[in-house]
């Protein structure tokens, strides 16, 4: 696939969308993104494959490797793994660096980032999936870092030190006790509040994506190839943004749907680079002013797209919260900004 072809796929997807009526709960607003997709997924999700026992995720060897895991798919269908999904267990918890379609009947190596800096010993032979994804600010920065690595080094690795620093900063803001510096502790210790967010946002008919505003400002969106996948992934995405909403400053005014529309337009105008996917299809990375993200293209369509608003140069700190930020949060790094 050439960049022009990929850009056409992205534009076709975006232009076929409608922004639905927003739903707001506390400090988070979600706009349903509605499409007319009638395709069947043709794949299993990570959760489905692991629950059915047809897939297995392990360390690459007895000694392990922080930025890689082994994914074995024994199913008769590909398995979809979403960027940011968390895997827990083995030597340390990880999150997916990009979206993947793992081929049926094959074993592949998948690029990941560690989200538990203080553990490197085995608690289980295989990984389990968790009900959450990388929190949105960290997910945005990691996406920008992976795009940079793909462009400059042909790698799918993130800036691991930055991932750990962001988790430490979030734990500090939320007063989380995290003995192994695990991202999971922040979600689990604030689970009652986070699950209130999950109950507030249910998929609607025809919904294939969602745009999110934290503290009144648009911060990101996820799009899928069919409503069935969106319905399965929405709770993980809401938990991701809910953690940021817990530390964000209160909205000064209600967010506008124009923010979601502008983010869609920015995606359509982004510079797109095409890279071999890990598994089936192509990995699309796009860059533009205040934009980071990527997409997985396969079978002539966009299977998943994630886009985030970032700081103008991608490296300046832009904490969601100004009242709860620790000194460490003001260090020089890539920062998610929302508007």
SS (H, E, C) 31-90: EEEECCCCCCCCCEEHHHHHHCCCEEEECCCCCCCCCEEEEEECCCCCEEECCCEEEEEC
What pLDDT, in 10s, does the model give residues 124-162?
999 999 999 999 999 999 999 999 999 999 999 999 999
Give the DSSP letter of residue 117: T
Share of the chain above pLDDT 90, in %: 78
Would you list the domain boundaries of the chain? 3-40+135-330
Going by the DSSP 8-state scheme, the letter that residue 161 receives in this structure is H
Window from 85-89, 240-244, 310-314 with minimum mean pLDDT: 310-314
Whether the model pTM is above 0.85: yes
pLDDT tens for each residue of 20-73: 999 999 999 999 999 998 889 999 999 999 999 999 999 999 999 999 999 999
Q: Which two tokens stand for residue 43?
A: 């794949």
* In the predicted structure, residue 287 carries a pLDDT above the cut 90: no
pLDDT for the residue numbered 16: 84
Q: What pLDDT is stored for residue 109 in this prediction?
A: 98
pLDDT of 313? 52
Q: Identify the pLDDT of residue 332.
A: 30
Res 65: pLDDT: 96
pLDDT value, residue 64: 96
Residues 75-117: pLDDT tens digits?
999 999 999 999 999 999 999 999 999 999 999 999 999 999 9
Arithmetic mean of pLDDT, 191-200:
98
Residue 259's contacts (CB-CB under 8 Å, 6 or more residues apart) are 211, 213, 217, 218, 339
> Between 331 and 28, whose confidence is greater?
28
Mean pLDDT throughout 257-274? Answer: 90
Mean pLDDT estimate for the chain: 90
What value does the mean pLDDT take over residues 309-336? 43
330 pLDDT above the threshold of 50:
no
- Two tokens, residue 28: 């988070």
Q: How far is CA 28 from the centre of its chain?
A: 17
- For 192-238, what is the HEC assignment? HHHHHHHHHCCCCCCEEEEEEEECCEEEEEEEECCHHHHHHHHHHHH
pLDDT confidence of residue 312: 66
The band of 336, judged by pLDDT with boundaries at 50, 70 and 90, is very low
pLDDT, position 328: 37
- Region 171-188 average pLDDT: 97
pLDDT for 266 beyond 70 = yes
Q: Which residue has the higher pLDDT, 249 or 234?
A: 234
Residue 241's pLDDT is 98
pLDDT value of position 103: 98
């Amino acid at each position: 696939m050439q960049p022009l072809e990929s850009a056409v796929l992205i534009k076709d997807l975006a232009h076929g969308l409608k922004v639905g009526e927003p739903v707001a709960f506390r400090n988070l607003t979600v706009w349903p993104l509605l499409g007319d997709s009638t395709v069947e997924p043709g794949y299993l999700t990570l959760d489905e494959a692991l629950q059915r026992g047809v897939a297995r995720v392990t360390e690459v060897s007895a000694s392990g490797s922080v930025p890689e895991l082994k994914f074995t798919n024994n199913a008769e269908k590909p398995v979809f793994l979403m960027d940011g999904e968390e895997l827990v267990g083995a030597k340390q918890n990880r999150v997916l660096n990009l979206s993947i379609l793992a081929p049926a009947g094959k074993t592949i190596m998948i690029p990941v980032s560690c989200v538990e800096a203080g553990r490197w010993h085995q608690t289980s032979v295989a990984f389990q999936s968790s009900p959450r994804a990388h929190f949105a600010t960290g997910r945005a920065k990691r996406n920008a870092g992976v795009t940079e690595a793909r462009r400059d080094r042909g790698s799918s690795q993130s800036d691991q030190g930055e991932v750990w620093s962001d988790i430490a900063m979030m734990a500090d803001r939320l007063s989380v006790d995290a003995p192994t510096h695990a991202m999971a502790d922040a979600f689990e210790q604030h689970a009652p509040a986070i699950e209130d967010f999950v109950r507030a946002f249910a998929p609607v008919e025809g919904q294939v994506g969602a745009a999110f505003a934290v503290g009144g400002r648009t911060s990101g969106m996820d799009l899928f190839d069919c409503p069935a996948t969106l319905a399965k992934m929405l709770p993980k995405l809401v938990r991701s943004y809910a953690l940021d909403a817990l530390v964000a400053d209160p909205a000064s005014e209600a967010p506008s749907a124009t923010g979601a529309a502008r983010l869609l337009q920015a995606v359509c105008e982004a510079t797109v680079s095409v890279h071999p996917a890990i598994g089936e299809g192509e990995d699309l990375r796009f860059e533009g002013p205040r934009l980071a993200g990527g997409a997985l293209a396969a079978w002539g369509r966009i299977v998943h797209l994630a886009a985030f608003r970032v700081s103008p140069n991608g490296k300046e700190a832009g904490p969601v919260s100004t009242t709860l930020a620790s000194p460490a949060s003001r260090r020089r790094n890539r920062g998610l900004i929302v508007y």
